[in-house]
A and B are shown apart, each in its own frame.
Chain A
Amino acid sequence: MSRVRGVSLEAAPDWAIEAKGLVKIFGKHRAVDGVDLTVRRGTVFGFLGPNGAGKTTTIRLLATLLKPDGGSARIFGHDLSKEGDEIRSRISLTGQYASIDEDLTGMENLVMMGRLMGYGRAAAKARAAELLKAFGLQEAAKRQVKNYSGGMRRRIDIAASIVVTPELLFLDEPTAGLDPRSRNQVWDIIRALVGSGTTVLLTTQYLEEADQLADRIAVINQGKIIAEGTSSELKASVGTGTLSLQLVNAEDRPRAVNILEDKLSAAVRLMLDSTSLTAQINDSFLVADALSELARNKIAVSDFSFGRPSLDEVFLTLTGHEAAQEAQSEEGVS
């Protein structure tokens, strides 16, 4: 994209977000350490990383809630450091934890948001009722939010963020801790929002979620973006296919590794639990052969799958750790 200073940028910015070298330091800790990010208007951008990677901090920087210690960013062409009001009128943020008044009812919360967005009393009420209905919260409208279930809370929280449909919506771990049914409801809402033209930046620790929803994905670890691309690009960077095996007996694993490396001529990786292993392979015809060789050697296999690499494996390849393990050790430290 060519940039002509002060001329065309304002007219038709293709980019919802253009961030360059964003840095945020807490004490001595570089929570966000030089993040470059471009998000095209009307797309879903997935921000993927383990706990403590810097996802929330990056979002808070972009939503004008924190001042960066370095770097710059434009939201729809507006400078983050100078045009806060312009930006705030276009964005909305649904934080990691429910950010509504739990003592008020769902209806009262949405009416309040409507009024704060500039609706008159009647219009705010109408809009609140419309959203409650669309989000399946009609019956809970007059109950205090503190009595809502986790899934209902998430939905009312997102509803509060789109009382006026934002041009850019930040969703920080929108489905963390939800059961599959509630998660699907939230996914439907996100898809509907994108359908109406909203740009969405969502963070997640769930690799599947980014895969399902996002047009492009950035993988962030320790404040730095370590990979960026479409889901298939990220997968392609790892190899064309992955064989995952689970053995019945952990003692068989060393022998299994030898056999597989021999037959597949590829590196075999040991997974955390003592019976699992995976291998990246480029020729799927070798798989059947390798499996029958295991059988010939009396190595019992309890489960196996062969497919395109999951984002879990992408993460593993990129960082050398498993995402889940990273999250735990990170929590242990802080």
Chain B
Amino acid sequence: MTGYIEQREKEANELRLNESIASSDRPKPPSAVASTMTFATRALLRIKHVPEQMFDVTVFPVIFLLMFTYLFGGAIAGSTEEYLQFLLPGILVMTVAQITMYTGIDLNNDIRKGIFDRFRTLPIWLPSALIGSLLVDVIRYSMASVIMITLGFALGFRPEGGLMGVLGAIALILVFSFSLSWIWTVCGLIVRSEKALMMISFMVLFPLTFVSNVFVDPRTLPSWLESFVDVNPISILATAVRGAMHGTVTTQQVIWVLIVSVIMTAIFAPITVYLYRNKK
């Protein structure tokens, strides 16, 4: 009796299985825009399911700003409010630059978990997998910026460049960060473990962000160090962002940021795509 019911159930299942497998047609492969948007949707869904990953763009900026303002504010500039006008743009640059490294870590996880292989056997324009998640990262960077500037305002930060200046400064940060991310995607494709990747990222980012003009005016430094600080991309960005926020930015400063961004993208984006396609 039960055997009969089980048998019928099995047949019904088989029928459904056969139908659903046979019923599929073959759509045309998606356009580059469509697949990019799909990967962006994936990144957004991941934020929805793993909200902890927003920690770095919400809590970091707050901690960094409070810490540096009150720790160094008194010691370096004498007054915290005065120092904040100088510090906030730089520390914003530093914070966002540091969170760009998560792009590489996410990609590295995809590779180790095998979903990367699935994407690579799809008939899609491959860079869309990277660009899609980078676009969502840009949203994350914007969030970090808004949070930090809002908090800064409450602490007494008064940008003389006004709203337009601030928005322009954020735009510069986003362009730069998008370009910087390609360095991390290259690392994420080469390095095997997440730990090693973190190490490399810190080894690059730590000197880059601290040996820059984020905290101090480079004119107080020994000349050999000063020349490094001057060509450091983080300094170049911090100078332009500071200028934009306080209304003193020059065209030249903006162009330098764009040049650095274009160079980073032009070198590291093609390497990323090549490695992505030919990963062992």
- Using a CB–CB distance below 8 Å, which chain A residues touch chain B? 60, 63-67, 85, 88-89, 91-93, 95-105, 108, 112, 115-119, 123, 127, 130-131, 133-136, 144, 160-165, 188-189, 192-193, 195-196, 198
Contact partner of A133 among B16, B24, B29, CB < 8 A? Answer: B16
14 A-B pairs besides A99-B118, A112-B38 with CB distance below 8 A are A65-B120, A95-B117, A99-B116, A100-B115, A101-B42, A105-B49, A108-B42, A112-B41, A115-B34, A115-B38, A116-B30, A118-B27, A133-B16, A134-B20
Binds A, one of B79-87, B121-129, B138-146, B155-163: B121-129
A108:B45 contact, CB within 8 angstroms: yes
| CB-nearest residue of chain B to A99 | B114
- Using a CB–CB distance below 8 Å, which chain B residues touch chain A? 13-14, 16-30, 34-35, 38, 41-42, 45-46, 49-50, 113-124, 278, 280
Query: B16 to chain A: which residues have CB within 8 Å?
Result: 133-134
Query: B113 to chain A: which residues have CB within 8 Å?
Result: 97-99, 102
Known contacts A89-B123, A115-B34, A130-B20; A123 and B27 CB within 8 A of each other: yes
Question: What would 12 A/B residue contacts be, using CB atoms closer than 8 Å?
Answer: A64-B120, A89-B123, A95-B114, A105-B49, A115-B34, A116-B30, A116-B35, A116-B122, A188-B14, A188-B17, A192-B18, A196-B22
Q: How far is the CA of A136 from the CA of B42 in the complex (A)?
A: 24
Q: How far is the CA of A161 from the CA of B115 in the complex (A)?
A: 11
A67:B278 contact, CB within 8 angstroms: yes
A65:B21 contact, CB within 8 angstroms: no
Query: A131 to chain B: which residues have CB within 8 Å?
Result: 20
B38:A136 contact, CB within 8 angstroms: no
Q: How far is the CA of A134 from the CA of B164 in the complex (A)?
A: 55
Q: How far is the CA of A63 from the CA of B23 in the complex (A)?
A: 24
Chain A min CB distance to B69 (Å): 35
A192:B42 contact, CB within 8 angstroms: no
| CB-nearest residue of chain A to B28 | A118
B121:A134 contact, CB within 8 angstroms: no
Known contacts A100-B118, A101-B42; A118 and B29 CB within 8 A of each other: yes
Contact partner of B117 among A93, A119, A165, CB < 8 A? Answer: A93
Contact partner of B17 among A102, A103, A108, A192, CB < 8 A? Answer: A192
B21:A144 contact, CB within 8 angstroms: no
A119:B121 contact, CB within 8 angstroms: no
Known contacts A95-B114, A99-B117; A117 and B122 CB within 8 A of each other: yes
A192:B121 contact, CB within 8 angstroms: no
Chain B min CB distance to A84 (Å): 9
Contact partner of B27 among A99, A119, A196, CB < 8 A? Answer: A119
Query: A99 to chain B: which residues have CB within 8 Å?
Result: 113-118
Q: How far is the CA of A131 from the CA of B45 in the complex (A)?
A: 21
Chain A min CB distance to B131 (Å): 14
| CB-nearest residue of chain B to A189 | B17
Query: B30 to chain A: which residues have CB within 8 Å?
Result: 115-118
Query: B116 to chain A: which residues have CB within 8 Å?
Result: 99
Contact partner of A134 among B17, B41, B115, B122, CB < 8 A? Answer: B17
B123:A88 contact, CB within 8 angstroms: yes
Q: How far is the CA of A99 from the CA of B119 in the complex (A)?
A: 9
Query: B119 to chain A: which residues have CB within 8 Å?
Result: 116
Q: How far is the CA of A112 from the CA of B46 in the complex (A)?
A: 12
Query: B124 to chain A: which residues have CB within 8 Å?
Result: 116
Known contacts A115-B30, A118-B27; A160 and B17 CB within 8 A of each other: no
Query: B46 to chain A: which residues have CB within 8 Å?
Result: 101, 103-104
B38:A116 contact, CB within 8 angstroms: yes
A104:B42 contact, CB within 8 angstroms: yes
A104:B49 contact, CB within 8 angstroms: yes
| CB-nearest residue of chain A to B19 | A134
Nearest 8 pairs of A and B residues by beta carbon? A118-B27, A99-B114, A134-B20, A89-B123, A115-B38, A192-B17, A99-B118, A196-B22
Query: B117 to chain A: which residues have CB within 8 Å?
Result: 60, 65, 93, 95, 99
Query: A165 to chain B: which residues have CB within 8 Å?
Result: 21-22, 24, 26
B121:A93 contact, CB within 8 angstroms: yes
Q: How far is the CA of A160 from the CA of B24 in the complex (A)?
A: 13
B14:A144 contact, CB within 8 angstroms: no
Chain B min CB distance to A53 (Å): 19
Q: How far is the CA of A130 from the CA of B19 in the complex (A)?
A: 9
